[in-house]
Amino acid sequence: MKAPQFAYRAPRSIKEAVTALAESEGMGKILAGGQSLVPTMNFRLARPDMLIDINRISELDFARPENGKLRIGALTRHAAFERPFFEGPLARLLADVVQHIAHVPIRTRGTFTGSLAHADPASEWCLVACTLDAEMVAHSLEGERIIPAAEYFVTTLTTALTENELLVEARLPLLDDSWKHGFCEFNRRAGDFALSMSLVALKIENGRIAEARIGIGGVEDKPVRAPDAEAYLIGKTGEAADRVEAARLASEGIQPMDDMHAPADYRRDLTRAMVRRALERALAR
Ligand SMILES: Cc1cc2nc3c(=O)[nH]c(=O)nc-3n(C[C@H](O)[C@H](O)[C@H](O)COP(=O)(O)OP(=O)(O)OC[C@H]3O[C@@H](n4cnc5c(N)ncnc54)[C@H](O)[C@@H]3O)c2cc1C
């Protein structure tokens, strides 16, 4: 099928884009990489009256470390993270995770913030944002709003962004060299969305875990953290028994989806394995 008719706007500035959004009275959609929006329109699951194409807004085309954060502008494609362009553990983490997103052509068009705006529960970038407590920077005619990850993800394909807001930037905390990460996901076919995945970031001091971040994606209607497992790991060395217990706590703390792709019990079991393996990978670095 082809998409229904729509008007097309190609603003050159953030101001023009948010003005177009406001004028569309809730019927306009931002077009970034188009890798989720266009298929959805072709299936007629989305019927925006107007597409506001942000690809000519050069002020959105940046990705750089600044003041302890990695600032990722709205035109940064997934592929930008394949080869680290800055130093440190966060660059390695992003380079590791990006390989699991779709396929090369999609990674060259799709954007980091487009994934965050689309908010698929199995999006790898949404999992990264949740695990690392990202900040989302939204602009509208009313001004700028910074939304912490804990308040940003609402449910499947729904975020705290209002219909008049453009997500201009996401900010991730830069990690110092005491941080190690591990990522593990399971999907039935290469490049497909995960049935379960886990991202782990551990701060190691004097051979013990000083801070633990464990994120889980593809399992609930949005990415979630595993607070009991995170608290359990503090002060531990992360030996095999610690990893097994943390993975058990994480898998018991979730409310997995039960859908045509996998039953809830299977997803819970899978999550236990994903968290354990992500921990193993983090501690092996
Ligand atoms: C075959 C296939 C496999 C895929 N596999 C994966 C996968 O394994 N993992 C994964 O994470 N993704 C996967 N994707 C999705 C892909 O990563 C998309 O690129 C991503 O979801 C959306 O980014 P985009 O820039 O293409 O956004 P678009 O498609 O342009 O937009 C998506 C939605 O977000 C809104 N939006 C986009 N940017 C902004 C903004 N700056 N401010 C406000 N709203 C905005 C749009 O209005 C739209 O509603 C897959 C896609 C395909 C087609």
Q: What is the mean pLDDT of the chain?
A: 97
User: Each residue of 248-268: pLDDT tens digit?
Assistant: 999 999 999 999 899 999 999
Do 213 and 159 share a structural domain? no
Distance 197 CA to ligand 1 centre (A): 18
pLDDT for residue 1 is more than 90? no
* 41 C-alpha to ligand 1 centroid (Å): 13
Rounded CA separation 228/252 (Å): 9
Assess whether 272 and 202 both reside in one domain.
Answer: yes
- Tell me phi and psi for residue 30, to 5 degrees: -75, 135
Q: Is 1 domain-assigned? A: no
Q: Are residues 205 and 259 in the same domain?
A: yes
CA of 206 to the centre of ligand 1 (A): 41
| pLDDT the model gives residue 235 | 98
Of the residues 173, 195, 217, which one is the last residue of a structural domain? Answer: 173
| Cα–Cα distance for residue pair 216/130, rounded to 1 Å | 9
Q: Are residues 77 and 44 both part of a single domain?
A: no
Residue 47 has pLDDT above 80, yes or no: yes
Q: Is the CB of 246 under 6 A from ligand 1?
A: no
Residue 130: helix, strand or coil by DSSP? helix
Of ligand 1's listed atoms, the one at least distance from the Cα of 165 is 43
Does ligand 1 lie within 6 Å of residue 106's CB atom?
A: yes
**Is residue 156 in some structural domain?**
yes
Q: Are 205 and 178 in contact (CB under 8 A)?
A: yes
What's the CATH code of the domain at 154?
3.30.465.10
State yes or no: pLDDT of 2 exceeds 90.
Answer: no
Closest CA to 18 of 27, 30, 7: 30
Domain count within the chain:
3
169 lines ligand 1 (CB under 6 A): no
Tell whether the model's pLDDT for residue 19 goes beyond 90: yes
pLDDT at 192: 83
User: Ligand 1: distance of its center to the CA of 120 in Å?
Assistant: 8
**CA 52 – ligand 1 centroid, Å:** 15
**Residue from 14, 106, 124 whose mutation best tests the ligand 1 pocket (most atoms within 8 A of CB):** 106
Last residue of a domain, one of 53, 71, 86: 53
Which value, in Å, is the radius of gyration of the alpha carbons in the chain?
19
Percent of the chain with pLDDT over 90: 95
**Strands 135-140 and 166-173, how do they pair?**
antiparallel
Ligand 1 near 18 CB (within 6 A): no
Model pLDDT for residues 121-130, shown as the tens digit of each residue: 999 999 999 9
Number of the ligand 1 atom closest to the C-alpha atom of 39: 53
Does residue 41 fall inside a structural domain? yes
How high is the pLDDT of residue 185? Answer: 97
Q: What confidence tens digit (pLDDT) does each residue in 196-206 have?
A: 999 999 999 99
Rounded Cα distance, 124 and 116, in Å: 9
* Dist CA 172 CA 69 (whole Å): 5
Q: Give the nearest ligand 1 atom to 168 CA.
A: 41
- pLDDT, position 191: 77
Which domain CATH number covers 13? 3.30.43.10
Q: Is the CB of 37 under 6 A from ligand 1?
A: yes
Same domain, 151 and 64: yes
Q: Of the residues 154, 173, 192, which one is the last residue of a structural domain?
A: 173
* Rounded CA separation 105/199 (Å): 24
Mark whether 86 and 131 lie in a shared domain: yes
Ligand 1 probe mutation, 13, 21, 31, 36, most atoms within 8 A of CB: 36
pLDDT tens per residue across span 164-177: 999 999 999 999 99
Q: What number is the average pLDDT over the span 211-237?
A: 98
Closest to 34 in 3D by CA, of 63, 73, 75, 70: 75
pLDDT of 190 = 81
Outline where DSSP puts E strands in the chain. 7-9, 28-31, 50-53, 63-66, 69-73, 135-140, 143-148, 153-155, 158-159, 166-173, 179-186, 196-205, 208-217, 224-225
- Residue 152 is part of which domain span? 59-173
123 lines ligand 1 (CB under 6 A): yes
Domain contains 129 = yes
Q: Do 191 and 249 share a domain, yes or no?
A: yes
Domain co-membership, 40 together with 140? no
Residues 102 and 120 in one domain: yes
The residue contributing the CA closest to ligand 1 atom 20 is 115
DSSP-assigned states of every residue in 216-242: EESSSSS-EE-HHHHHHHTT----HHH
The yes-or-no verdict on residue 243 having pLDDT over 80 is yes
Q: Which atom of ligand 1 is nearest to the CA of 32?
A: 30
Q: Is the dihedral of CA 38, 5, 160, 112 positive or negative?
A: positive
pLDDT above 90 (res 189): no
Q: What is the pLDDT of residues 52-90, one digit of tens each?
A: 999 999 999 999 999 999 999 999 999 999 999 999 999
Query: Quick check: is 2 in a domain?
Result: no
How many percent of the chain have pLDDT more than 70?
100
Q: Is 35 in the pocket of ligand 1 (CB under 6 A)?
A: yes
Q: Are residues 86 and 12 in the same domain?
A: no
First to last CA, the chain: 48
Please provide residue 206's backbone torsions phi and psi, each rounded to the nearest 5 degrees: 50, 40
Q: How many CB atoms lie within 10 A of CB 155?
A: 11
